[in-house]
Chain A
Amino acid sequence: MDLMSVQKLSVDQRVSDVSLGLQQGEILGLIGPNGAGKSTLLNAIAGLLDSSGEIELSGQKINQLRRVERARKVALQPQFVESVWALSVHDIVSMGRLPWGDSDQTIIQRVMQQTNIQDFARRPVNELSGGERARVWLARVLANQPRVLLVDEPVANLDIHYQQEVMQILVDYANEGHAVIIAIHDLSLAARYCDRLCLLHRGQQIKTGKVEDVLNSQVLSPVFDVDVYVDLQNSPPVVLAQ
């Protein structure tokens, strides 16, 4: 059985009739041009937007859960996060435990190690660099230990070193028996790290499947309105506009 199944999910005119299945251990990449509906879809799955259709988690309808129970199972890392107050890194990671109502130090210490932020645990988050901050935000959702982790463009503003690091953290998290849905613009990274991809365009689900089925120039070129060069045999794989 799928860990999560999404059936005919629609949000206003922004996303229509999206159906997805998500296996344990899997990273599903949401790709598509700007405005395709990637963030809307993630927000709807997280329960932040009113939507029609059905989402089931291990066979249970997700909208029958209380808000806080849903938040324990499905966690969202939005694209833009900022802390208004100069909170310490440790306090921010601890906030991941808010849905559970505890501050489980074992989990908090473990995710700080996984994301390699334990060295600056006591420092205020606003003093950190962009790459360090990105890992702190990620540690916050990981501390929640959701079954399904939703991440919106976690690598958009990072240098190639941190891009790799963040993607590897997500792979490791999925391999621990969870699942990850990631909205991502960088198609080369998507090719390298995602198990399956879902291509969206103007709110429509164009194609969903294995990386090689979605990432080919016949599929991508009309959607992105540009000739796309794809070399999945290369290591790492390359997907670029020509």
Chain B
Amino acid sequence: MSRTLEFGFNQSIGGMEKYLNPFLIMTLLVVTLVSISFGTIDLNALTALMEWFAASDSREALIVGEIRLPRTLLALIVGAAMGLSGAALQGLFRNPLVDPGLIGASQGAALGAALVFYFNLFSSLGALATPIAGLIGAAITLFLLMGLSGSMARPAVIIMAGLAISSLASALLAVVLNFAPNPYAMQELVFWMLGSVSNRGLDNLAILLPAFALGSIVIYRQRQLLLGLSLGEQVADSMGLEVVKRGRYIILGTALLVGSSVAIAGNIGFVGLVIPHLIRPLVKYRPDRLLVPSALAGATVVCSADILVRLLPPERELKLGVLTALVGAPFFVWLIWKERQRWI
């Protein structure tokens, strides 16, 4: 049955929309190549990649394989995760102002990860401990948000509930910082929270990639719910979409994406807010068709931002998350300005 549905609903895609995903994939590939080619040492990205895959230990192969490829892939996956979770949450809450960072999910994930950092929780899980703690933190904040704002909440209520929950998570995070075992640990934690994809090895991908794949599939399978929710919960429920049950899957999928991303790369904010907003008119405002292009564009934008970070003078590195916030926060201000008459 789900197969016929997919066919049926893709059938009516027409015009410019047909070319959107191919265009975004092309852009993503170009940015990926640029990201791998770009650095203090000039090299041919494709040749170096081939050499690395062939297990050559040439200097180029090592630079690409050990440094640039992990950095690029992390940027791509984190960007895709943020773009996708923003699109999913905006659809679920029927609110264009929702972003994992604005409603506390990122702070919750950071809190979970920070607790593990400091107190060595779940030490039996090894490298999985931080991402799992991040995931649990994100899930708890998202479920709290659903509980606090109620199912029929108006946009402003969701934002206020999100503010309350992110304040709570931030306060707890401050407690963790306050009782940092030593100043270096505190500095490390603060730098990590600012958000970056540099100096992270390929082994991080072993955690990030499965979490991303699973979270994306879970969300993508609920795209009919996102479409149905366009007309409100009552209509979606009356169409047999089981809003409460299936909504939980979206929360869970988002928690997987945000939790693992934040645990590994820190807080790369505002991508989840801005990207779906820019893509939405291109998919004729369909919340179901927004998912894939938002993931593709999110990946491209975060990877491009990371290239930009590397272009800046190296002695005082600007963190990737700081850059996205510098661009994203004014966009948020503009969005509120534009949308505010709808709230009154």
Contact = CB atoms under 8 A, between A and B. Distances in A.
Q: Do A and B bind each other?
A: yes
A98 B224 contact: yes
B235 A101 contact: no
Contacts of A48: 234, 237-238
A94 B280 CA distance: 19
Contacts of A67: 240-242
A98 B241 contact: yes
B336 to A, nearest CB: 17
B231 interface: yes
A101 B166 CA distance: 38
Contacts of A69: 240
Contacts of A144: 239
Contacts of B18: none
Given A99-B239, A101-B2, A82 B287 contact: no
A131 interface: no
Interface in A100-144: 101-105, 124, 140, 144
B8 interface: yes
A121 to B, nearest CB: 11
B234 A84 contact: no
How big is chain B's contact interface, by range?
20 to 34
B154 to A, nearest CB: 11
Contacts of B240: 66-72, 98-99
B246 to A, nearest CB: 11
Contacts of A46: 238
B231 A103 contact: no
A66 to B, nearest CB: 8
Interface in B217-255: 224, 227-232, 234-235, 237-242
Interface of A: 43, 46-48, 66-72, 75-76, 78, 80-88, 90-92, 94-95, 97-99, 101-105, 124, 140, 144
Interface of B: 1-2, 4-5, 8-9, 11-12, 94-95, 224, 227-232, 234-235, 237-242, 280, 284-287
The 7 A-B residue pairs whose C-beta atoms are closest, nearest first, are A71-B240, A68-B240, A101-B5, A85-B285, A103-B8, A76-B238, A67-B240
